[in-house]
Amino acid sequence: MQRTRIDVLLSEQSVGQTVVVKGWVKSFRNNQFISINDGSCFDNIQAVLNRENYDIDFLKTITPGTALKVVGTIVASQGSGQAIEIDVTEIEIYGTANAETYPLQPKKHSKEFLREIAHLRFRTNTFGAVFRIRHAVSFAIHSFFNDRKFYYLHTPIITASDAEGAGEMFRVSTLDLAQPPKTESGDIDFKADFFERETHLTVSGQLEAELGALALGQVYTFGPTFRAENSNTSRHLAEFWMVEPEVAFADLHDNMDLAEAMLKHIISYVLEHCQRDLQFLNDEQIKEESQKPKNQRSELSLIERLQSCIADDFVRISYTEAIEILKNSKPNKKKKFNYIIEEWGADLQSEHERYLVEKHFKKPVILFDYPKDIKAFYMKVNEDNKTVRAMDILFPGIGEIIGGSQREENLDVLLARMEEMDVPAEELYWYLDIRKYGSCPHSGYGLGFERMVQFVTGMGNIRDVIPFPRTPGNAAF
RNA sequence: GCCUCAGUAGCUCAGCUGGUUAGAGCGGCGGACUGUUAAUCCGUAGGUCGUAGGUUCGAGCCCUACCUGAGGCGCCA
């Protein structure tokens, strides 16, 4: 007999039907009630057995974590916690979980502890919900771009270019670390390496995505990205997933429109398809915050925050306007900021971004037209020759979730910028060729996938929204 | 990389200004009960108080170094 998934069983509620359910024991009460979860949904099914029919030593092997099969009839539940339950006729145990050593107890565990047992944390309510939602976010991204006729482009993970300027890179090499081959001048001889040149893990697929966009029209990448920065924060990973759409003939405003529509699509999709999981995370966070003093609690619950994000247009203001707001803000005047905003040109710190999003506007903010000196070489220079067509989308609690720009399509201007910023033009000849032959205005952005999942699930630490986080000093599992 | 805080039983934590046998809840184990909802009740075991030094008659508590974790900052997505 085919097994029935618990999500199907709970939604169909076919009383009288005989079913086979396979899953893991959440709890076993009274030697009679087994709560079983199979990962198909948040909720468990309660299997009820007649303890008279079983040996006590057999019943003792049914402990939290045990994998088993039950066969039985769906009946209306006599208890109040659930509508239906299974009247068990047969149990088969696949794998026991020794209660003396199994670390997951039916009690609250800290996220830090669960991070140390990341191989088991999927089995908890919280992480089950988080990883079902992570899947939904991923699926929503693909459906959004597919519906708009974007092509999913797989850009390389191993890259030879060291010129992307997006941070420290991880080296890829098959050379003997202890005794690498040397050139006559004593340098490491990468000609002897696997790719016959120096290679690293990618820090961005953008440059390659641009190549695709200028032929396929509109493309997006969605893949792993690696940064060897020594970043120790709740929103940085050394290995993370990034979504990078790139659109030909799009200017910065088209780019902002696309990004805002995408973010709203993802949020709507999750609100519609992950109700039960979201409700659980929502309630957990209310419970957690009830321990805190009132002024530290969030004004809106998780679900309210998500709903408010899709209800209104995001605020769009230029960097120059943002500086004016910040200059005149209370924390700036009272010198509460660690970095006081004094003049145009200052790079915004996360405290400033948070002020704009969380205090001043209380909704997502898109900042655009940044000073060129604080932005990357490939961003299009405005007519004022002071700013570039860059945009960052700032989200409450997360900060920068998207960074993007219209790209510089003019070859001479781009070359001048690369010269200014010490980006070696020879290495990027292929990137420049795009400006030489059939260049056109184009734009794109990068979305930090885990930051999006963080926002949607309300998880405070990015390490809790990726199955096996890689951070400085940590690559377990 | 910098700053701050923390590390006590398997987990979550208490342990007053340094004072004698280091506590609780949950979990484990043994038993009772039986339509339970992280079941309940009774009993019981479990700790080189992160590691290494030091101060002191005496250190879980004070000092130094290191390790680990968390929060904040920087780098960014």
Query: Measuring CA to CA, how many Å separate A39 from each of A21, A87, A136, A244, A358?
Result: 12, 21, 14, 30, 35
Judge if the beta carbon of A54 is closer than 7 A to nucleic acid strand B: no
Output the distance from A181 CA to B24 C1' rounded to whole Å.
63
Output the distance from A28 CA to B35 C1' rounded to whole Å.
13
Q: Mean pLDDT, to the nearest integer, of A158-170?
A: 78
Q: Domains of chain A: which residue ranges?
A: 6-107, 125-167+203-314+363-464
Sign of the Cα pseudo-torsion (A156, A159, A163, A164, in order) = positive
Nucleotide with smallest C1' distance to residue A352 CA: B73
Beta A84-95 vs A33-37: how paired, if at all? unpaired
> Do A6-107 and A125-167+203-314+363-464 fold alike per CATH?
no
The per-residue pLDDT for A297 is 77
Tracing tokens 């973010």 back to the chain, one arrives at A263
Judge if the beta carbon of A375 is closer than 7 A to nucleic acid strand B: no
The per-residue pLDDT for A166 is 67
The per-residue pLDDT for A107 is 86
- Residue A126 neighbours by CB distance under 10 Å: 19
A217, burial (CB in 10 Å: exposed 0-12, middle 13-18, buried 19+)? middle
Judge if the beta carbon of A78 is closer than 7 A to nucleic acid strand B: yes
Nucleotide with smallest C1' distance to residue A206 CA: B77
The per-residue pLDDT for A167 is 76
The per-residue pLDDT for A395 is 94
pLDDT of residue A189 exceeding 90: yes
* Token pair for A62: 């049914």
- Residue A81 neighbours by CB distance under 10 Å: 10
- CATH 3.30.930.10 for domain A125-167+203-314+363-464: yes
CATH of region A6-107: 2.40.50.140
Output the distance from A415 CA to B21 C1' rounded to whole Å.
79
Gyration radius of chain A over CA positions: 27
ipTM of predicted assembly, 2 dp: 0.92
The per-residue pLDDT for A159 is 92
Judge if the beta carbon of A29 is closer than 7 A to nucleic acid strand B: yes
Nucleotide with smallest C1' distance to residue A237 CA: B77
pLDDT of residue A397 exceeding 90: no
The per-residue pLDDT for A278 is 97
Average pLDDT over chain A, rounded to an integer? 94
The per-residue pLDDT for A356 is 94
Measured in degrees and rounded to the nearest 5, phi and psi for residue A72 equal: 180, -175
Within A 267-326, residues with CB less than 7 Å from strand B? none
Residue A462 per-residue DSSP state = G
Bases of chain B with protein Cβ within 7 A: 1-2, 10-13, 25-30, 33-39, 68-77
DSSP string for A381-441: BPTTSSEEEEEEEEETTTEEEEEEEEBP--HHHHHHHHHHTT--TTTTHHHHHHHHSS---
Question: A300-331 pLDDT, tens per residue?
Answer: 899 999 999 999 999 999 999 999 999 999 99
Judge if the beta carbon of A235 is closer than 7 A to nucleic acid strand B: yes
The per-residue pLDDT for A335 is 86
pLDDT of residue A163 exceeding 80: no
Rounded to an integer, what distance in angstroms lies between the CA atom of residue A259 and that of residue A405? 11
Judge if the beta carbon of A245 is closer than 7 A to nucleic acid strand B: no
What count of Cα atoms within 13 Å lies in the side-chain half-sphere of residue A44? 19
Rounded to an integer, what distance in angstroms lies between the CA atom of residue A450 and that of residue A107? 27
A225, burial (CB in 10 Å: exposed 0-12, middle 13-18, buried 19+)? buried
